[in-house]
Amino acid sequence: MQISGSTRVFMVLGDPVSQVQAPRLFNALFERHGLDAVLVPAHVRLEDSAAFARGVLSARNVDGLWLTIPHKPALLPLLSRCDRDGRLAQAVNAVRRSEDGSLEGALFDGRGFTKALAHFGFDARGRRALLVGAGGAGAAIAAALLDTGLHTLALHDLGDRAQLLAQRLQPHAGATAVVAAGNDPAGYDLVIHATPLGLRPTDPLPFDVQRLRADALVVDILMKPCDTPLMAACRTRGVRVEPGFEMLVQQVPDYLSFFGMHAAAQAVQADLSGVRALIHAG
């Protein structure tokens, strides 16, 4: 990759940031599609994120920010515009500077998830789904699921987080019933795990796998190089389970399009196999 005075610069903010895959993935795509752009990581503390964003986006060759934990909710007060999923989930994972200098945000996590469901061959229309984990990623997935025609979307989390999210979503849910519920997966067609449980080997399972329907689809959005404990338990029981990597794959064209790289977005969308290969190579 050749960096010059005309290279468009993007940054991905995180705390920590060493684990992010976006620079390796997108820089390879920039090079592959002949884009004079670079994505670099920036390790920024949460309390510094707003000031950092204001400062760095004042540079005319810095065109936007990718956001990861814990920054997705932090920049909302700076935005003049935000897409619907970002407003409902109260978080964004991309921020760009408009021509007038104002900032605009978008949230692609949930859209990536629903497109992953289509890739898995799962039709959500009229089905019942349980989402375990109503934090940032869970809220994004819940907001996007409102567009899939679900019959019921049940949310579970500790404290009142699921109840508050259900109240925020229901006015926008159309015919979908959005409710706060327990973590019993019995009777659901789709069960989504969106908590940190499974990052450590001593973590308990987020729900009782024995209670799953035999024909249910489980999606564990944790992205680990090997099966999570939940995935292993589902496979032992013979229940179909998918990891979260496809959710990331499906977001790539959205990022490229949001940042004005429309030809590359269309080319990547037409054949996502190269993105999958880059992600799994890491």
Q: What is the DSSP string of 227-254?
A: --HHHHHHHHHT-EEEETHHHHHHHHHH
Residue 223 to residue 280: CA distance in whole angstroms: 11
pLDDT tens-digit profile, the chain (282 residues): 789 999 999 999 989 888 788 899 999 999 999 999 999 999 999 999 999 999 999 999 999 999 988 888 889 999 999 999 999 989 999 999 998 889 999 999 999 999 999 999 999 999 999 999 998 889 999 999 999 999 999 999 999 999 999 999 999 999 999 999 999 999 999 999 999 888 787 899 999 999 999 999 999 998 776 788 999 999 999 999 999 899 999 999 999 999 999 999 999 999 999 999 988 876
Residue 235 to residue 209: CA distance in whole angstroms: 10
Residue 111 to residue 96: CA distance in whole angstroms: 18
According to the model, what pLDDT value does residue 171 have? 94
Residues with catalytic function: 72
What pTM value is reported for the model?
0.89
Residue 112 to residue 69: CA distance in whole angstroms: 17
According to the model, what pLDDT value does residue 53 have? 95
Hey, what are 204's tokens?
């308990």
Residue 281 φ/ψ, nearest 5 degrees: -70, -20
According to the model, what pLDDT value does residue 206 have? 96
Helices (H), the chain: 22-32, 49-56, 84-89, 109-120, 136-145, 161-169, 229-237, 245-258, 262-270, 273-281
